[in-house]
């Protein structure tokens, strides 16, 4: 970070009431944003600089800050507090939560994750809740779930490979993901025709989106939840499927079932939710294979570089992860 930006960030922090003599340390805490830990006499803070360009105009800054402001109004203390925002610099200041990654997921951890979903969905008829935006890739008809996979596969097939590794990735999509998708697409359309196509407003939930143990830390047995850039209103089926499908710190089959039961029991039509999760989980597995290949698209790779996690072997690693994930969950 150059001195000019450093001074602008220090001025921003001072305007939020943070003392002088700041020490900035960039940490690899996210895959889309530049994240800095700030240490000063007052304590510790988190400053995030959000990604934005002509290819990806999603308002990650406004979405996360607004979502955390809503949770703060609900006195939910297991998330960072929003302290300040500068839209011009695309930065925000948050409280620092002490904790470390969960290394071994237990049923108690899963119950705390499910309880967090219950709490943030316990007052859905308030003006604050109704003002929240739609989650990223929100699904409000069951066809939306299918479209997510279709669109991701098509985008990967449209890439113009420039070297052998990109050719290998596209061959993986064409020879493995696409045939599996065509098979599942027909089967699921037959299955889902039994259900009402439109997901009722009363059946929607507030979703953290991208919810999983990769965005959770633990302190003395208590879980704290991070990263709400994609949060908003969504289908509970998608929320549950994504939690189950997360590849970075995955839950096992028993924990997946536990989360499904503990979340759905507090929602309308729990049996419908369980049945839809069972039906749609295979296509969300395919979706996550595609997500693991995001870095092969230039606009997605730019976000990783912005976040400070780009490296020479990134594409090779992601292709290996996608192959492993497919062979483990989809083949």
Domains and CATH numbers, the chain: 3-95 (3.30.200.20), 100-329 (3.90.1200.10)
The position carrying tokens 């939690």 is 243
236, two tokens: 């509970």
pLDDT confidence of residue 312 = 57
Q: How far apart are CA 280 and CA 192, in angstroms?
A: 9
Spell out the residues 6+ positions from residue 133 whose beta carbon is closer than 8 angstroms to its own: 63, 66, 232, 233
Which tokens hold the place of 157?
Answer: 């097939």
* Pairing verdict, β 82-86 and 91-95: antiparallel
Residues 6+ apart with CB under 8 A from 12: 84, 86, 89, 91, 93
pLDDT at 301: 57
Helix, strand or coil, per DSSP, at residue 113: helix
**H-type helices in 57-196, by residue range?**
60-73, 107-120, 127-130, 142-157, 164-172, 178-192
CB-CB contact of 135 with 207 (8 Å): yes
| 273 to 147, 167, 242, 296, 322: CA distances (angstroms) | 19, 39, 14, 34, 27
* Full DSSP string of 218-258: EETTEEEE---TT-EEE-HHHHHHHHHH-SSS---HHHHHH
The pLDDT, as a whole number, for residue 190 is 79
pTM, whole model, 2 decimals?
Answer: 0.91
Q: Give residue 311's pLDDT.
A: 53
Residue 208 CB contacts under 8 Å (≥ 6 apart), including other chains: 116, 117, 120, 215, 225, 227, 228, 231, 239
**What is the C-alpha separation between 240 and 208, in angstroms, rounded?**
11
The confidence score (pLDDT) of residue 318 equals 93
Q: Indicate the SS3 state at residue 25.
A: strand
> Position of tokens 């530049």?
34
The C-alpha R_g of the chain, in whole angstroms, comes to: 20
Q: What is the distance between the alpha carbons of residues 191 and 129, in angstroms, rounded to a whole number?
A: 33
The per-residue pLDDT string of the chain (331 residues; one tens digit each, 9 = 90 and over) reads 444 446 788 888 888 888 777 888 888 755 668 899 999 888 899 999 998 776 667 899 999 999 999 999 999 999 999 999 999 999 999 999 999 999 999 999 999 999 999 999 999 999 999 999 999 999 999 889 999 999 999 999 999 888 899 999 999 999 999 999 999 988 887 777 776 678 889 999 999 999 999 999 999 999 999 999 999 999 999 999 999 999 999 999 999 999 999 999 999 999 999 999 999 999 999 999 999 999 898 765 555 554 445 555 888 999 999 999 999 999 8
Distance CA(133)–CA(231), nearest Å, equals: 8
CA distance between the termini of the chain: 45
Most distant CA pair in the chain: distance in Å?
63
């Amino acid at each position: 970070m150059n001195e000019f930006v450093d001074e602008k960030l220090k001025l921003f922090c001072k305007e939020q009431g943070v003392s002088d003599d700041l020490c900035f340390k960039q940490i690899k805490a996210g895959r889309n944003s530049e994240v800095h830990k700030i240490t000063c006499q007052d304590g510790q803070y988190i400053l995030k600089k959000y990604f934005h360009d002509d290819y990806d105009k999603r308002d990650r800054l406004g979405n996360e800050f607004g979502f955390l402001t809503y949770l703060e109004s609900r006195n939910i203390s297991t998330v960072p507090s929003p302290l300040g925002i500068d839209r011009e610099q695309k930065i925000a200041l948050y409280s620092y939560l002490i904790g470390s990654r969960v290394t071994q997921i237990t049923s108690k951890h899963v119950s705390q994750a499910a309880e967090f979903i219950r709490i943030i969905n316990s007052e859905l008829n308030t003006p604050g809740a109704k003002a929240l935006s739609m989650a990223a890739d929100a699904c409000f008809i069951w066809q939306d779930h299918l479209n997510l996979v279709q669109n991701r596969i098509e985008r990967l097939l449209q890439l113009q490979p420039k070297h052998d590794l990109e050719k290998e990735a596209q061959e993986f999509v064409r020879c493995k993901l696409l045939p599996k998708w065509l098979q599942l697409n027909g089967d699921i359309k037959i299955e889902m025709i039994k259900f009402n196509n439109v997901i009722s407003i009363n059946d929607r939930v507030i979703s953290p989106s991208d919810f999983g143990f990769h965005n959770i830390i633990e302190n003395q047995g208590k879980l704290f939840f991070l990263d709400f850039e994609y949060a908003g209103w969504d289908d509970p089926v998608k929320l549950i499927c994504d939690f189950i499908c997360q590849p970075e710190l995955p839950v096992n089959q028993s924990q997946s079932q536990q989360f499904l039961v503990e979340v759905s029991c507090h929602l309308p039509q729990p049996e419908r939710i369980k049945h839809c999760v069972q039906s749609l989980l295979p296509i969300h597995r395919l979706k996550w294979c595609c997500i693991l290949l995001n870095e092969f698209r230039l606009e997605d790779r730019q976000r990783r570089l912005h976040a400070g996690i780009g490296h020479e072997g990134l594409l090779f690693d992601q292709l290996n992860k996608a192959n492993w994930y497919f062979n483990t969950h989809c083949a």
